[in-house]
Amino acid sequence: MLESIKSAIEARFQALANDGRAFVDKVEEIVGLGNAAKELSDLESRMTSIVTDTEATAEQKVEQILRAVGKL
């Protein structure tokens, strides 16, 4: 799932890069994509940390993941 989101961000960036509008007209969208990419990277790092935690139980990992994605 994360890979498909990354691919969508990359595709949107390429579309913006090839867009005929002036750069200043694209800046807001480019900044938004940068923010989305940063959030995704942070979330991916957090998920990796949770999943590889050898001291946490499965239940604790599920709770941590739900908290990380804002569902708890």
- Prediction pTM value: 0.66
User: What residue has token string 């807001």?
Assistant: 28
User: Quick check: helix, strand or coil at residue 16?
Assistant: helix
- Check residues 18 and 71 and name the one with the higher pLDDT: 18
Dump pLDDT digits (tens) for 25-39: 888 888 888 898 898
- What 3-state class would DSSP assign to 24? helix
Give the Cβ contact number of residue 26 at 10 Å: 15
Q: What is the DSSP letter of 21?
A: S
State the CB neighbour count (10 A cutoff) for residue 61.
Answer: 15
Cα separation, 9 vs 15, whole angstroms:
10
